[in-house]
Structure 1
């Protein structure tokens, strides 16, 4: 890994990329959503046009378009987050704030994912054992295929289109040897100017063990906000990690840095 840089600048990280994938290292940390809000504001100013998000299914395309066009109907989107993405304190609300920020910034919002029913059907058709044996593609990989096709269609629609995509890190890059990441899938379709930014740290820590789940940094770095080039796992594209300062809760229930 390269040395840390305290000037967290998403325009610098993006360079001339047509796609920047923002990957959260876990879904439980509300802070990653707020960091993504900062990122999309900077990337909109740098010329990005679309915001694609894992946490909304393509079946909600019309509801998303209505909200985008009128500013009305957001409660339907927030209800979906409340019902399906309650992974931790403030998490559903933070996903909603991210969607609002994308609209306010002027980015076109794109719902990437399948429905829960579609995923259940795919789970039944391909077991993890068969997927690992190469007999079939599992749900995770088919989701990646679908997202890649959607993103590629946007990019190829116009030379001006540039996409910011928000997802779990193990969709952006390979999760397992039989689960190909978007980083390689998209290059197979001729899109090579892609950047991956991985969010780490930022945990709301009830114990020291909880902190270690979000970041393996040494103690002096846990309270630092920085980025550096590189990714400690397999990645087929230029990658960065952004470390968000970790918060703790003291014995009185108060947040502390």
Structure 2
């Protein structure tokens, strides 16, 4: 892999991009959400205007906008995370803090995803074999298509609009041969200045006393905070990885 840089600077990684995708290598570590808060604060200062989020369904956009306008209704959003995104200890709360931070820095929050009911209906009509043979689109692909359409609509409204989007890494880039990533789908919509930043390492806790390190680095790097250019899998855009220290909770 490329040389590590211990001066983790999101403005440098973003460059002139109009879309920066922040990808979680796993939903389990709460620390990724807090690192995303740092990224939002830095990127807002250089002109980013929107924050789009996988973890909120489009059906909740009115609730999100109410919270954005008035500061009221956050409990409804937090309850959604608690019910559907309990991927580890403090994870639902960390997603909630990410939404709060986006509002506090002045980014307009966009709920990207389909509902679970919509996903189930799509997969019921498009089984794995048919999806793999590209005879239909499974829910993963439909989600990416909907997200890309939404992001492109925002970016095409004004040249001043810039989006930070938060999601699992396998939505940002191709998850399988039949599951195109946003790195290519957004380009099809006419936006070519895109960056992908992948969060790796860190610690995931499943209770107050049960935690697991998520770093795949050698021993001397496991506890270091750094970034490097590149992504170990296929990506259609310029990509980076930010490594969180394995002892960071």
Matches for 1:57-136 after TM superposition, within 5 Å: 57-136=57-136
TM-score relative to the length of structure 2 = 0.96
**Aligned counterparts of 1:164 and 1:36: Cα–Cα separation in 2:** 10
| Distance apart, 1:62 and its partner CA | 0.5
| Distance apart, 1:247 and its partner CA | 2.0
**Aligned counterparts of 2:218 and 2:94: Cα–Cα separation in 1:** 28
Q: Which 10-residue stretch deviates more, 171-180 or 126-135?
A: 126-135
Structure 1: gaps of 5 or more residues: 249-254
TM-score relative to the length of structure 1 = 0.93
Counterpart in the other structure of 1:216: 216
SS in 2 for 1:247: coil
Query: Residues 21 and 172 of structure 2 are in contact (CA less than 8 Å); yes or no, is this contact kept in structure 1?
Result: yes
| Distance apart, 1:204 and its partner CA | 3.3
Tell me the C-alpha RMSD between the 2 structures. Answer: 1.5
Query: Residues 204 and 247 of structure 1 are in contact (CA less than 8 Å); yes or no, is this contact kept in structure 2?
Result: no
**Aligned counterparts of 1:26 and 1:75: Cα–Cα separation in 2:** 25
**Aligned counterparts of 1:2 and 1:50: Cα–Cα separation in 2:** 30
Displaced runs of 4 or more, over 2 A: 204-207
1:139 corresponds to 2:148:
no
Structure 2: gaps of 5 or more residues: none
Query: Residues 88 and 205 of structure 2 are in contact (CA less than 8 Å); yes or no, is this contact kept in structure 1?
Result: no
**Aligned counterparts of 2:25 and 2:104: Cα–Cα separation in 1:** 26
| Distance apart, 1:135 and its partner CA | 1.0
**Aligned counterparts of 1:205 and 1:48: Cα–Cα separation in 2:** 32
